[in-house]
Amino acid sequence: MKWLDNLAEKSTRKLARSSGRRSFLAKLSAGIVGGSTIPLLPVARASGGGNSYPGVGSQSTGNLEDPGDPTSCDYWRYCAIDGFICACCGGSANSCPPGTEMSPMTWIGTCRNPADGKNYIISYNDCCGRTSCGRCMCNRNEGDVPVYRPQQNNDTNWCLGTKSNVYNCSTGVVLGIALE
Amino acid sequence: MQLRIVSTVLGMLLSFSLLAELSPEPIPNVEILPKDYPDSWIFAHDANFASLLTGQLVILDVAADTKEYKGSLDASQFGTFIQSSTREELYVGETFYSRGTRGDRTDVVTIYDKSSLNRIGEVVLPGEKRAQIVVNKYAMQLIDNDEYLLVLNFTPAISVTVIDIAKREVLNEVPIGGCNMIYPSGKRGFSSLCGDGTIMSISLDKKGQVIDRTRSEPFFNADDDPLFDKPMYLENIAYFPSFKGDIQPIDMTNDPDILPKWSMISEEDAKENWRPSGWQIISASDEHLYVLMQKNGNWGSHKSGGEEVWVFDTSQQKRIKRIALKNPGFSIEVTGGKKPLLAVTGTDMTIWVYDLDGELQRNIVVGAPSAMPIMLNAKR
């Protein structure tokens, strides 16, 4: 999902915090780090455990070759994600929550796995057909271009080609090694 | 002392006896709005990301310190909105499923009466393809003296549905592959920005059929310095800000005429990395553009919001004022009329109202804490 960008930015986070006004945005965005929507942009992410979302339990892949916490916006493969993290919503980094439908259309990013230092193509398939999950909003606008470049734009609902285009959450599925 | 108490009690009894009893009040009793709204009223479009099925438009009087909330319209699932300036009608593009989040999909333009806010009609859109994009004015537009309503489609093939709005009749679907959005242009037509840095222009006949289609030479670079997709029109000129701080004016009187661009950023501003940033970042009053600006901007910060609004004179192409916002802004809109006001959706998602000298007037909460009124529509 690529429309929640207004909640996301580092700068918004800074602005919202400094504003000291309604706190939901600051709270919500406090955990947002996100990634780039530009394919082939190598972005390394911290891979430490734990997330920064209050009331969301931490997880671990339990796999040294895939290090990190899938509920954390810092998780390496979320470098171009934009939306609610499915791992926080009953799914996982590469699966949708029960009862939802995975969108066959998607946008992709290229993320560097800190374990092997290799770049992987990640497919950010949305999960559709249930209302917004609302947990673990994760977004960033590096490489985002307005809607006249839809494939690089994160303002568009990508729940397309599904029975329902109601958006629930986003995954980050490994498609393979990126060719340099 | 006793005398004073007695006189007070007598005084109270006397005043009670003068007050009339309350009359029974009618039920039901529903408010109506004037047919012609005051200039200070705006439509705040709450996309409601926490529950997209229940997006809404809230009508606010940004000049009022009392009874500032006037009413609301529904706008379901990435709704779009536009006011008619020739009919007392409001149009909302919406998507519904027969069983809420599931079932049969219906795309529809819902037509509201401006005074009663009752639904008075609808146009069902064919093909289950209405574009679902985060609130953007240019996903639905009126052209030719508001006779035709244009609705954007995205499947991801991109096209525009042409509607005769008086007859409530769909006339045509115009493919605009490689380009996106609806910027009114010409006598009866629209233009769209394209990913290759060009602009496409379509002219329509009275039956909504394409009679001419042109494409400009490339004039912007979407990789190096993209144009924002939400311009501001002053008369027939659309002013598109760029990520790095240029203004690209395009005269839309006929086929788009790409006018010379100019920069909003002085050398001094550049040292502090000022850039336009936010969602709806540009508005206007008279010949003056109002642009939401961010200090220390960078690649990727174009939707963060900003701490100042800069005012530019379009004829001199020069900044004439800086307004420091009390609370950082995410979207802005300037109202019309004799006493225009600057309405700012803060990054806190409440509305902050300033006069055009930059004095904060008031703060208005739009709805629930999850409300996200990220697009403000002044009276059209």
Assign residue A31 the CATH number of its domain.
Answer: 2.60.30.10
- Tens-place pLDDT, residues B1-21: 566 666 666 666 666 667 899
Say whether B346 and A21 touch across the interface (CB within 8 A): yes
Using an 8 Å CB-CB cutoff, list chain B residues near A133. Answer: none
Residue of B nearest to A166 (CA): B101
Tell me the three-class secondary structure of B74-124, residue by residue. Answer: ECCCCCEEEECCCCCEEEEEEEEEEEECEEEEEEEEEEEECCCCCEEEEEE
Number of structural domains in chain A? 1
pLDDT above 70 coverage of chain A, percent: 69
ipTM of the complex: 0.91
Indicate the range of A60-64, A142-146, B25-29, B255-259 predicted with least confidence. A142-146
pLDDT above 70 coverage of chain B, percent: 96
The alpha carbon of residue B252 is apart from the nearest alpha carbon of chain A, in Å, by 18
- Tens-place pLDDT, residues B83-100: 999 999 999 999 999 999
Using an 8 Å CB-CB cutoff, list chain B residues near A19. Answer: 327-328, 346-348
- Tracing tokens 């499947």 back to the chain, one arrives at B155
Instruction: Kindly report the average pLDDT of chain B as a whole number.
Output: 95
Instruction: Please compute the mean of the pLDDT values over residues B134-150 and round it to a whole number.
Output: 97
Confidence of residue A45 (pLDDT cuts 50, 70, 90): very low
Residue of A nearest to B225 (CA): A145
Position B167 scores a pLDDT of: 98
The beta-carbon neighbor of B300 closest among A130, A143, A167 is A143
As annotated, the active-site residues of A are 107, 126
Using an 8 Å CB-CB cutoff, list chain A residues near B136. Answer: 147, 155
Coil, helix or strand at residue B358: coil
Residue A19 has pLDDT above 60, yes or no: no
Instruction: Please compute the mean of the pLDDT values over residues A103-120 and round it to a whole number.
Output: 90
Confidence of residue A35 (pLDDT cuts 50, 70, 90): very low
Structure tokens at B174: 């115009």
Instruction: Please compute the mean of the pLDDT values over residues B129-158 and round it to a whole number.
Output: 97
Confidence of residue B266 (pLDDT cuts 50, 70, 90): very high
Using an 8 Å CB-CB cutoff, list chain A residues near B372. Answer: 6
Closest C-alpha to A109, from A74, A144, A136, A85:
A144
Instruction: Please compute the mean of the pLDDT values over residues A84-106 and round it to a whole number.
Output: 95
Number of Cα atoms under 13 Å in the Cβ half of residue B243: 21
Residue B347 has pLDDT above 60, yes or no: yes
Say whether A145 and B226 touch across the interface (CB within 8 A): yes
Coil, helix or strand at residue B359: coil
Indicate the range of A6-20, A72-86, B10-24 predicted with least confidence. A6-20
pLDDT above 90 coverage of chain A, percent: 49
Position B1 scores a pLDDT of: 55
Q: Provide the chain A residues 85-144 that lie in CB contact (below 8 A) with chain B.
A: 105, 129-132, 134, 140-144
Distance CA B291, CA B262 (A): 14
Q: Which residue has the higher pLDDT, B350 or A155?
A: B350
Residue B32 has pLDDT above 50, yes or no: yes
Say whether A9 and B301 touch across the interface (CB within 8 A): yes
Question: Which of B49, B240, B281, B299 should one mutate to test binding to chain A, selecting the residue with the greatest count of A CBs within 10 A?
Answer: B49
Q: Provide the chain A residues 58-87 that lie in CB contact (below 8 A) with chain B.
A: none
- A52 C-beta neighbours (distance < 10 Å), count: 15
Position B105 scores a pLDDT of: 97
The alpha carbon of residue B279 is apart from the nearest alpha carbon of chain A, in Å, by 7
Domain region containing A162: 4-177
